[in-house]
Structure 1
Amino acid sequence: AERAGIDTGSLAYLGRARTANGEVRTASVWIEEMSLGGITDTDVRVWVNQGELEQSLLGMGYLQRWSSIEIRNGALVLTR
C-alpha cells in the first residue's frame, strides 16, 4: 500500500479479515486509478490490511471486474 502511495499511517483500520495467517485489521480506501496488464480501472475500492505481506493480493471485488480468471502454466490469466 505504501509503495502505491497510500499513507497507511492515516488510515482507520475498522474492519477485520480472516487470512491464512490469522485475523488482520483492514481499512477501506478508494484509489482513482489502477492499471494491470495494460487495463486501467478508475474509482477502485481497495482494502489495506495490517498483516505482514511481501506482495499485494487481488481481492474478489476487483477480480469480479474480469470476465475470465484462470491459472495457465503457473500464471494467472485475466481476460476482459
Structure 2
Amino acid sequence: MNSKIGPYFIVFAAAFVIATVLHKSMDTLQPKESDAQIQTAVTNVKKPMTQFDIAAPGQLAASLRKRPDGHYWAQARVDNLYQINFMVDTGASICVLTPEDARRLGYDFATMEKDIKIKTASGSTYGASITIKRLEIGRVLLKDVDAVVLDDNLEQSLLGMSFLERLTSWEVSKAAIIIHQ
C-alpha cells in the first residue's frame, strides 16, 4: 500500500466502522413502526386549510364562503322550490326572509298575520312566523326550521340561529364557515 494513502485509508475505515456502530445503536433505540402505522400517522396529520379543502368539507357538511363585503353567505335551496342567498347572522335568533324571498316561496306578506315581535337594530317590529319545511345548503339538510318574514327595510334574508343551533358543529375560518349536520 502506498505510504501516503495508508493513514487516510485507516482514518476512513475507522470512521466507517464508527458510523455503522452508531447507526445500529440508533436502530435499537427507536421503536419499529409498521407501514400501516406510518400511513395512519401521515393521513392523520392536520394540514392547513386551503380554498380547495373548503369547497369539499366532507360528508353532511357545507362551506359558507366569506365574500369581499366581509360577510359569510349561504346559497340555500328552500322547500325544494327556490334558491335563496342568506347572509349568515349569528346575532339573529331566528332565520329571516325578506317579503320578496317569501313571495317566491308562495307567501304573501301583505296578507299574513304579523304574529311575532322582533327586536332589530333599528327597534321593534312585527313579522309573520313561518316554518321552512326544508332548508338545504350543500350536503346539509334541516327540516322544519323556524323563520319569520319581516319587512323592516331588510335587503337580505338572514340565516340565523334557528338554523345554526341545530347543526352538530360549525367552524369559522377567515375564508368560510364550515357547517356540519
Q: How does 1:58-77 map to 2 (within 5 A)?
A: 58-77=159-178
Verify the 8 A CA contact 2:140 2:180 in the aligned structure 1: no
Aligned to 2:155: 54
Verify the 8 A CA contact 2:133 2:144 in the aligned structure 1: yes
| Separation in structure 2 between the aligned mates of residue 4 and residue 45 of structure 1, nearest angstrom | 15
TM-score after normalising by structure 1 = 0.76
SS in 1 for 2:157: coil
Deviation at residue 12 of structure 1 after TM alignment: 0.6
- Large movers: runs of 4+ above 6 Å: none
SS in 2 for 1:57: strand
Gaps of 5+ in 2: 1-101
TM-score after normalising by structure 2 = 0.39
Verify the 8 A CA contact 2:170 2:180 in the aligned structure 1: yes
Deviation track 1:30-73 (CA, whole Å, cap 9, x = no partner) reads 22211122322222221111211121112222211112233311
Q: CA RMSD in A?
A: 1.9
Verify the 8 A CA contact 2:145 2:162 in the aligned structure 1: no
| Separation in structure 2 between the aligned mates of residue 14 and residue 21 of structure 1, nearest angstrom | 19
Q: How does 1:16-31 map to 2 (within 5 A)?
A: 16-31=117-132
SS in 2 for 1:24: strand
Aligned to 2:144: 43
Higher helix share: 2
Deviation at residue 74 of structure 1 after TM alignment: 4.5
Gaps of 5+ in 1: none
Structure showing greater relative contact order (alpha-carbon pairs closer than 8 Å, 6 or more residues apart): 2
How many residues are matched? Answer: 80
The structure number with the bigger radius of gyration is: 2
Aligned to 1:2: 103
Higher strand share: 1
